Chains A and B, each alone.
Chain A
Amino acid sequence: MDVTRQGMEPGTRHASSSLRSVWREAVLGYLFIIPSFLIIVVFGLYPVLRAGYISLHEWSIVKGRFVGLLNYRDLFKASDFWQALQVTVFYVIATVPLTMMLSLVLAYLLFRPIRFRALFRSLYFLPYVTSMVPAAMVWQWIFNSQAGILNAMAGGIAKGVAGFLRLAGQSPGVYIWVLLMAAWIVYVSVTAGRRTAFSVGFQLAVAGILLLVGVIFLRSPGALQETVKQLETFFPVRWLQEPRGIILFLGKKWGFTPPKWLQGPSMALIAVSIVSMWHFTGYDVVIYLAGLFNVPTELYEAARIDGATEGQIFWKITFPLLSPTTFFLLIISTIGAFRSFTMFYVLTSGGPLKTTTSVTYLVYDKFYNDAKWGYASAIAFVLFGIILVMTLLNQRLAGRRVFYQ
């Protein structure tokens, strides 16, 4: 990412030029800038002031009375704004880190000298160039609750797993399972000294959870029966039409009702996030690949000579040196996710039960459907403020910890 690549500071070599030519250069400069300046002022800067002006009024298609900051007070009181903000935050949390992790893995794999690298890169990038409208039409069809392929395939897999569990539950399979997991934990703990902390922690967590599942099934065979039954009837899920939160949705199936604050993002929002990941992974892969190519190869060679393992090389060299890229992507994707509108508009139109109404969608909804222009402008301004604060905070906090080469 050599956006800051320096050319020679131009002009410095003509310091001796006459006043007349300085004057001419200045005029030429203004002439060169005028076309873009006019457009930017008329359609980029003036509208901000005007939006501020509108947000201080009751404004429904035509200007109404001046209300001062009432629109802002109203929006902070209104539950729909807070719900929209919550939806947006859930969306950011569900998409940004996962997309980045997935793309880092893909980029790391693509970074090796392999065949068809350009082909793979283009294939991953394809979703990013396709228009969201046809893409959303396809995804709606994939997510369709009756005829959708996702429910059909996932349902098939769930039935297979259920069948396997039923078989394993009847035989001494569970005992073997529990013993195996326990052995894994012991093995990882004994050899912990030779592994990175991340690897140990990750393996212990996975083995622990699997061990726990085994123990639960061992102690109460009823739970196993129930799980098998639920797995078999889990699909079809209504995906884009499912307003219930994911924790509530999953919990209900196993007879657990979480409190209201723990219901999590709606299944519809999860589905939207999946589409969003599909759309943006290719972009992140390309950026990460560029970052990987910027890491000097001498570092890898030196590390290999010193006997570093692949894991160590990744965590101690690649990952820290990629931190500017990661940081850049984090900012860009977070702001992008905060602003994303089309995704919600074409996939769910804010529904079901407004559980996918993001802040930007709310702006559109208030403006286009409710004709509350003043109120919509106020929301847009608050969103602007949030994005501004986030960018500045990001630059302050993470900016210092990032490794620059």
Chain B
Amino acid sequence: MDTVQQRKRLELIAPRTVRSLNRALLYTVLALGSIGTCFPFVWMIITSFKTYAEAIASPPTLFPKDWGVRLTVLGQMLRSYPYVLLIFIAWMALGILISRKIKDKVIAGIYIVAHLALFFILGNLSWLGHHRLFDLWQATMTRAGITLEPISQNYVEAWGRAPFAAYFKNSIIISILTPLLIVVTSAPAGYAFARLRFPGKDVIFLLYLATMMIPPEVLLIPNFITISELGWKNTYLALVIPFIANVVSIFFLRQFFRSIPNDLYDASVIDGCGHTRFLLSIALPLSRPAIVSTGMFNFLGSWNALIWPLLVTDKESMRPIALGLASFSTEAGTQPQLYMAAATFSIIPVIVLFLFVQKQFIEGIARTGIK
């Protein structure tokens, strides 16, 4: 590619063509890469809509067979009740109009999806009487003489097979409490390391940094014993307290606080502000990006934690979603369509949250490389 000869030869083709060919190649490679990373998600969703017989068929089908039937039913339904289509188009036009007012493209995208979902929720409200979407669908199927399971069947069944509501509740409590408490402990610590002088500061900071080198496996057994001794097994305390001092977050916030100009502090001292007030009303609000990205990280950490909850909980009702899902997959191991449905509804909240904060989150990582 890099010889003079070749360049001359390439110029026989118009340089513009070469450039657009290069461009096409670039996009193809990038698209193939993202298909590679997204394929497991797509496959998960597709499998979750298959029937049991179809899910375990070999070779696998690329799309659920009954989707074709569903499409024909949908076509017939729209033909018999054309007003549904009209309302739908109007509704979506409204959605697109609203979403164009939203600046952030990702959030606009999320909004469109939510808007679409709202259509189905509103369309099934009981005051619509027999005009509910579900009733229209049923009527069309009866007329065509087709019987189909509801499309959400696997999801409903999976949800009923294990206490997923409790799992979600636990996960939400743990993964909101942990990052919050981490901010509560790390903000003052980071501030002290960044801006206060006290004897032994450097030694303590080095001690903190040294704990980052300790692999969690070393801590597992003794911490497990500590938790048992404290009688914290099967409590939220066991799942949250050991993780509320996070050295990475402290380090990250310290870096951020150091970058706040001293003049700002001097000015606030003149206004009668002490260190505590300065931290709460100036330093913390200024470091919102840092807090969002460490917060998201700690959220993910607690949401995905597996081994620690496994050790300190043995009651089903205290387990977070990752652990509950793991035990569900062993139990429903022979029913892939069910555990794919469970995997789907456990992944979606995290993905939606990630999409909301992705920009700050990714940039936070890029800046610090926390892992």
Chain A residues at the B interface, C-beta cutoff of 8 Å? 1-3, 5-8, 10-11, 13, 22, 25-33, 35-40, 42-48, 50-51, 54, 106, 109-110, 112, 114, 118, 120-127, 129-135, 137-139, 141-142, 144, 146-149, 152, 155, 191, 194-196, 199, 278, 281-283, 286-287, 289-290, 309-312, 328, 332, 336, 338-339, 341-342, 345-346, 360, 363-364, 367-368, 373, 376-377, 380-381, 383-384, 387-388, 391
Given contacts A137-B343, A142-B40, A195-B3, contact A28 B208 (CB under 8 A): no
List of B residues within 8 angstroms of A28 by Cβ: 192, 196, 198, 275-276
List of A residues within 8 angstroms of B266 by Cβ: 13
Beta-carbon nearest neighbor of A117 in chain B: B30
- Assess the B37–A383 pair: CB atoms within 8 A: no
List of B residues within 8 angstroms of A109 by Cβ: 26, 29-30
- Assess the B196–A11 pair: CB atoms within 8 A: yes
Tell me the minimal C-beta distance from B295 to chain A in angstroms: 14
Separation of A124 and B195 alpha carbons in the complex (Å): 38
List of B residues within 8 angstroms of A142 by Cβ: 40, 43
- Assess the B188–A35 pair: CB atoms within 8 A: yes
- Assess the A36–B245 pair: CB atoms within 8 A: yes
- Assess the B184–A387 pair: CB atoms within 8 A: no
Q: Which of A7, A110, A112, A148 contacts B260 (CB 8 A)?
A: A7
Tell me the minimal C-beta distance from A31 to chain B in angstroms: 8
B213 CB–A CB distance under 8 Å: yes
List of A residues within 8 angstroms of B362 by Cβ: 121-122, 125, 286
Given contacts A54-B222, A346-B306, contact A26 B198 (CB under 8 A): yes
Residue pairs across A and B with Cβ atoms less than 8 A apart, 29 shown, are: A6-B258, A11-B195, A25-B196, A26-B196, A26-B199, A27-B198, A33-B204, A36-B186, A37-B204, A39-B185, A50-B222, A131-B303, A131-B322, A131-B350, A133-B306, A134-B347, A138-B41, A141-B336, A142-B40, A194-B4, A195-B2, A286-B362, A310-B1, A332-B371, A339-B215, A346-B306, A364-B217, A377-B221, A391-B213
- Assess the B218–A1 pair: CB atoms within 8 A: no
List of B residues within 8 angstroms of A368 by Cβ: 311
Chain B residues at the A interface, C-beta cutoff of 8 Å? 1-5, 23, 26-27, 29-30, 33-34, 36-38, 40-41, 43-44, 47, 55-60, 105-106, 184-186, 188-189, 191-199, 201, 204, 207-208, 211, 213-223, 225-226, 241-245, 247, 250, 255, 257-262, 265-266, 275-276, 300, 303-304, 306-307, 311, 321-323, 325-326, 329, 336, 339-340, 342-344, 346-347, 350-351, 354-355, 358-359, 362, 365-369, 371
Interface of A is mostly: helix
- Assess the B185–A36 pair: CB atoms within 8 A: yes
- Assess the B58–A146 pair: CB atoms within 8 A: yes
List of A residues within 8 angstroms of B258 by Cβ: 5-7, 10
Tell me the minimal C-beta distance from A77 to chain B in angstroms: 21
- Assess the A132–B106 pair: CB atoms within 8 A: no
List of B residues within 8 angstroms of A144 by Cβ: 336
- Assess the A110–B185 pair: CB atoms within 8 A: no
Given contacts A33-B188, A106-B30, A109-B26, contact A47 B218 (CB under 8 A): yes
List of A residues within 8 angstroms of B60 by Cβ: 147-149, 152
Given contacts A1-B367, A129-B300, A286-B362, contact A33 B214 (CB under 8 A): no
- Assess the A39–B244 pair: CB atoms within 8 A: yes
Tell me the minimal C-beta distance from B63 to chain A in angstroms: 12
